[in-house]
Amino acid sequence: MKSYSHQKCIILSLLVFSCLIINSKTIRGDSAERINLEQNYIDHEPIIIASDAELSAFNGAGTLEDPHVIEGLNITTNERDGISVSLTTKHFVIRDCYIDASSAGISVESVAEGTAVIMNNICTNNQNTNGVGIQIAFANKVGLRDNICNGNEAYGILLFFSYDLILYRNTCNNNGMNGIVAAFANNSLFSENVCKNNGWEGLYLAGSAGSNLVSNIFSNNREYGIRMEYADYSTLVNNTMEQNEACGTYVWETDGCLFNYNWFMSNYYSALYFTSSCANNRVYLNNFIENGFSDNSQAVDEGNNTWYNEIDEIGNYWTDLEGEEHYQIDGESKLEDKFPLERTCNFMEEVVDISTKEADSELVFFILSYLILFGVRGNQFKKVTNGFL
């Protein structure tokens, strides 16, 4: 393959967040569920907070360095919400709780920007028609990490009218409708989340432009792994869409997105489907493996999108290329991948190729972006990352 250092920089900037987390000192990997299951919970009544005064009943000063902490609770109730926080301006953390409520396990609404972190909770079995594990509304720059939101009537995690969110390593399986719904959640980062066996989509992006999806898994969902609507200029890197019963990713009314290093495997109807309302999306350096029906292409494009990088002459890997020079994409547009790859493309191999100088430059850029995003100054950065990363 020819050099494409600019593209590497774009991808690396998305993955630095994950690298920071991987290199931090908190417990990693699939241990998140084990941490929760071993937690010694304290039985507690539902918690409804609607002011700073009510929030102050919990430990902490409410500052960035010393947030109020709600932790270690078992809230099993028939009431609507297990923990509800709204209309606050102080910093707070909800962590290490087990919540089984009626409508929402945890609900955070209309709190001050950058003040909420939700981590290591189990939110399950919310059985109302719109039952949801965690719900975030009108609350920007919230961090969600290592939460397990399985078996809810509707959604694992529901986000709406909340921007610049970070969702890292959450699990949303076996929910009646969607694993994660992000409605008008612009410029949010979704990294290393797992959404399996949900009744509709693994992830539904609706009106969420500038979304960044990095190293997530969406598999065995009853409809789509990912459904994108009005999600312009989003970036999808190193995600796995596998064995979804309709499409790996379905895209409607969405332009200008970048798809790199994703794995589309054994999705029943199609790996990646662009409707006629989609244009200027770029798809290259992806792996398409045994998707759809044998007499069709693995992808469908009814719009006007690009399936290769013409400058570097790189396309995608297709298991059914069968010696052809180009790969024909199904759809009215009659598009093709002019530079199909001879082997799978692995993101980690490309990261290793990036020079140390290049990586350091991107790391500095990301840290500055993080400080701006969360309003952190100087030595506060370490304190914030020790809490969330």
Instruction: Flag whether pLDDT at 302 surpasses 70.
Output: yes
Please return the burial class of 367, using the count of CB atoms within 10 Å of its CB with bins 0-12, 13-18 and 19+: middle
| Both structure tokens of 151 | 């078996």
Q: Give the model's pLDDT for residue 315.
A: 97
Report CA 172 to chain centroid distance, whole Å. Answer: 11
Question: In this structure, what are the phi and psi dihedrals at residue 117, rounded to the nearest 5 degrees?
Answer: -130, 135
pLDDT band at residue 128, thresholds of 50, 70 and 90?
confident
Find all residues with CB under 8 Å of 63, minimum gap 6, and list them: 90, 91
Yes or no: say if 251 and 277 are a contact pair by the CB < 8 Å rule: no
Local structure of 364: helix, strand or coil:
helix
pLDDT band at residue 16, thresholds of 50, 70 and 90?
low
pLDDT band at residue 382, thresholds of 50, 70 and 90?
very low
Q: Give the model's pLDDT for residue 346.
A: 87
pLDDT band at residue 96, thresholds of 50, 70 and 90?
very high
Instruction: Flag whether pLDDT at 333 surpasses 70.
Output: yes
| Both structure tokens of 367 | 């840290």
Q: Report the sign of the C-alpha dihedral through residues 268, 270, 273, 275, in that order.
A: negative
Q: Average pLDDT of the chain?
A: 85
Identify the weakest region by mean pLDDT among 89-93, 297-301, 316-320, 377-381: 377-381
Mean pLDDT of 170-178: 97
The neighbour count for residue 1, using CB atoms within 10 Å, is 13
Residue predicted with more confidence, 180 or 374: 180
The one-letter code for the residue type at 302 is E
Beta bridge partners of 119: 95, 145
Mean pLDDT of 271-283: 97
| Both structure tokens of 65 | 């360095």
Q: Give the model's pLDDT for residue 192.
A: 93
pLDDT band at residue 388, thresholds of 50, 70 and 90?
low
Q: Measured between alpha carbons, how far is residue 274 from residues 9, 209, 340 in Å?
A: 26, 17, 19
- Cα-atom radius of gyration of the chain, to the nearest Å? 21
Most confident of 29-43, 117-131, 209-223: 209-223
| Both structure tokens of 204 | 């539904």
Identify the weakest region by mean pLDDT among 36-50, 190-204, 289-303: 36-50
Q: Give the model's pLDDT for residue 111.
A: 98
Instruction: Flag whether pLDDT at 236 surpasses 60.
Output: yes
Give the single-character DSSP code of 329: P
pLDDT band at residue 293, thresholds of 50, 70 and 90?
confident
The model's pTM = 0.86
Q: Measured between alpha carbons, how far is residue 368 from residues 6, 17, 143, 385 in Å?
A: 20, 12, 17, 13
Local structure of 371: helix, strand or coil:
helix
Q: Give the model's pLDDT for residue 2.
A: 43
